[in-house]
Structure 1
């Protein structure tokens, strides 16, 4: 069994957040590993991060109302929610396959493997241009047979593409970025400006985050999960995308629950001015651009805090905030591959090629860390004031998961099927049809989380509160 229990993982995370230890007595964790077929404690990561976010919501509620809610999280339900994009249906139908046909693993000419992420058209086209081949798996495989894995990884990074070579844990630990991640904390919450203590507005709806306004500038899974979680606890979440930014439609459906959706082109002066106007009345600003990406658009943490003293600014990146890869683009599957998880999982399962984790665990884990950090910073703003910057990365989340230890019997559990999880599902209207999807696993005793707004197509709403 893993060397760290979910209770211990939650206590550690709660300490990283700087939250009061006595609040942990109000948490009830049920279930046990293995929750998903893996040699890693994915269920422990799911349960502890979802519990931390739920307890952080309860702490905000205590500051608002004085009540002390209890929190309960079942590990099986939490593990399922780490795969929420696999388990939803629209009008009873499976959504389209979200992944591009040439994405995935390939063996290079030196016998090593690389993983390509080509789900955005510009990433796909850039990889094909670099390889000089047709849009076909066999053609890509033939082209990569002429490359060494790390040489192609470097060439792709220099071209702004998203590719990683598969490494073992030992190789990652010797890599400069692996060493940089090992020296970083799990996450950080830093005061970046002054502002007076700010109580949250009184609302007729008594959800913990009622009246809290969130700007969600994220895509794919991790950042959108953060916004979805804040919405489940009552926040007014406005998703901001742009017509020119690619999206993965099935993920929009799953992670858009509870949000309104608008589009602004921040490269345009009028669009940037609209976002500044929204920011003046926002409480939380969540962004998943690569480090420095929003600075050029005048929306860095410090710039946002100057525009809106008291803002809680939440940042997500792939490989951490220090080290040679700090500015490198990345996604969950690539961080898994680069940091050793896929070879370790393959070794445990007896596979001959790298094997992914049974969920986008780094994405989902980071999303709940972001939500927990955002609500922790809101609580600090209520009591001591200030503007705050929360920083989370996929690689730091991965390093924490690795610290939980391994399971010899991890593959003995059955892979949960849609047909077996009916008790965790709910059906609601949406902008796409009748949506059947997972309920939230982080339960509060007095204000059960729920989504009051249906998920809608991108750009459905005007860019205003």
Structure 2
């Protein structure tokens, strides 16, 4: 099943991926949903796509020895010129599943960080359940205003306020106030929702070329003389990461594990979840830019001009309003691959609605099924976030490979809600009583400015080549907004 899924994911983004050797099977984590299958399929697809990059580079290096032009001279190699045999791509289901919950195992000097704010959680309402996401202070304050509570209200007061109202009423009031909430729906209720229909009409990973066929030539390789044949598969590929919470950071962290240069762009005025920022920042640099200022916009334009990939998870339309929509990015840097991640997609009545993994699980029926409708029970990992992150990395790699073969700039889109639909379609497994796995053999340690870090190693392998991070998470805004 997993090998077929990998092939299907490759076809989704226009890649003929090499076969993946899979070890292990579901169930791995305690859930009826095929969490291990989703993890292994997405990790396997990305690893196979990296193998394509590696093979392409080695083929080009071999061909350049036969051709006076070679790749760097602009001429593609002959189809049979010095082709290097592919190394076996492998993925282990347990390893991938544990990587999907790496934030649970992450430690700083042996201590776990807090992942949830005090008011974040599930609340019983007069007719069901609702989840409030209050990890950011402004989302917390919006929820409290919507519930008619003072800003110093505690969890008990929030529970009392929710208990007096209907779940959908709380969801809408909090959303209208600028907060983040989701009522628990059954799958049937979600299927009847117009947003579900809009999500169903979109691809799992949508990818399109931004300029017309025949325009441009294959973009030059930014690595110059450094190639994957001599170094790491994505060595010299520049990635801008404009994301904050799990999905986007996982995507760029994955690319960094295969050698990409990743610059994470934050802002001093934007709130963050400290533990998640650190655990997803391996192998990256960190800078801050204030896009509310003219200077900040100019600084980002300069970074875009030197980038190969930009990953962003702002609400749909937010960056475009600042002059950084997909077409704008392609104009600034022809050949760029822009990747957009959203909660519910860009179509339908919820297009642009704020959302997070836990909220999408509530809205689309996953949490309802997990608790048999009596109470919400989430997945045993932030599966939608992690799947979306790996699929975003796959989309970025597909854009890079297709840019090389076809030229042009590329735009990739995906949403957590569409990932939820894909996960639901994988079927069920008898895994409700599976014991929690022991991750100890998959953990590693690294010294960092924050302390001694314990983390889950990056999964997947290409022959003897395994992904890894060469640097620890940086301090926030440790680096200037510039490429290196």
Q: TM-score, normalised by structure 1?
A: 0.94
CA contact (8 A) 2:240 2:304 kept: yes
27, 37, 43: which one pairs with 1:44?
A: 37
Is it true that 1:247 corresponds to 2:272 in the alignment? yes
Match of 2:93 in 1: 75
Alpha-carbon shift at residue 199 of structure 1 (Å): 4.1
Alpha-carbon displacement from aligned partner over 1:214-259 (angstroms, at most 9, x marks no partner):
0000011000000000000100000000000111011011100000
CA contact (8 A) 1:207 1:447 kept: no
322, 337, 340: which one pairs with 1:297?
A: 322
Which residues of 2 match residues 147-158 of structure 1 at below 5 A?
A: 147-158=165-176
Alpha-carbon shift at residue 446 of structure 1 (Å): 4.8
Which residues of 2 match residues 200-211 of structure 1 at below 5 A?
A: 200=221, 201=223, 202-203=225-226, 206-211=231-236
CA distance in 1: counterparts of 2:284 and 2:9, whole angstroms: 27
386, 390, 403: which one pairs with 1:364?
A: 386
Which residues of 2 match residues 26-105 of structure 1 at below 5 A?
A: 27-66=20-59, 67=84, 68-91=86-109, 93-105=110-122
Query: How many residues were matched structurally?
Result: 449
Is it true that 1:373 corresponds to 2:389 in the alignment? no
Which residues of 2 match residues 1-400 of structure 1 at below 5 A?
A: 5-20=1-16, 23-25=17-19, 27-66=20-59, 67=84, 68-91=86-109, 93-109=110-126, 111-133=127-149, 134-193=152-211, 194-200=215-221, 201=223, 202-203=225-226, 206-347=231-372, 352-400=374-422
Alpha-carbon displacement from aligned partner over 1:362-399 (angstroms, at most 9, x marks no partner):
00000000001100110011111100001111001110
CA distance in 2: counterparts of 1:436 and 1:189, whole angstroms: 36
CA contact (8 A) 1:206 1:447 kept: no
Is it true that 1:449 corresponds to 2:463 in the alignment? no
| Unmatched tracts of structure 2, length 5 or more | 60-83
CA contact (8 A) 1:426 1:438 kept: yes
CA distance in 2: counterparts of 1:166 and 1:406, whole angstroms: 20
CA contact (8 A) 2:368 2:374 kept: no
Alpha-carbon shift at residue 178 of structure 1 (Å): 0.9
Alpha-carbon displacement from aligned partner over 1:267-314 (angstroms, at most 9, x marks no partner):
111111011111111100110101001011111111111111100000
438, 443, 455: which one pairs with 2:456?
A: 438
Secondary structure class of the residue paired with 2:321: coil
CA distance in 2: counterparts of 1:182 and 1:284, whole angstroms: 27
Match of 1:413 in 2: 434
Alpha-carbon shift at residue 321 of structure 1 (Å): 2.1
Secondary structure class of the residue paired with 1:412: coil
Alpha-carbon shift at residue 94 of structure 1 (Å): 2.1
Is it true that 1:458 corresponds to 2:476 in the alignment? yes
CA distance in 2: counterparts of 1:442 and 1:326, whole angstroms: 34
CA contact (8 A) 2:3 2:21 kept: no
Secondary structure class of the residue paired with 2:412: strand
Provide the aligned C-alpha RMSD in A. Answer: 1.3
| Unmatched tracts of structure 1, length 5 or more | none
Secondary structure class of the residue paired with 1:389: strand
CA contact (8 A) 1:218 1:287 kept: yes
* Structure ranking higher on relative contact order (CA contacts 8 Å, 6+ apart): 1
Moved over 3 A (4+): none
CA distance in 2: counterparts of 1:384 and 1:96, whole angstroms: 45
CA contact (8 A) 1:131 1:143 kept: yes
Alpha-carbon displacement from aligned partner over 1:7-64 (angstroms, at most 9, x marks no partner):
22212212112111xx433x11110110100010000000000111111111111111
CA distance in 2: counterparts of 1:35 and 1:7, whole angstroms: 17
Alpha-carbon shift at residue 317 of structure 1 (Å): 0.2
Secondary structure class of the residue paired with 1:451: coil
Structure 1 or 2, whichever has the larger Rg, is 2
Secondary structure class of the residue paired with 1:392: strand
Which residues of 2 match residues 423-434 of structure 1 at below 5 A?
A: 423-434=441-452
CA contact (8 A) 1:196 1:310 kept: no
Q: TM-score, normalised by structure 2?
A: 0.91
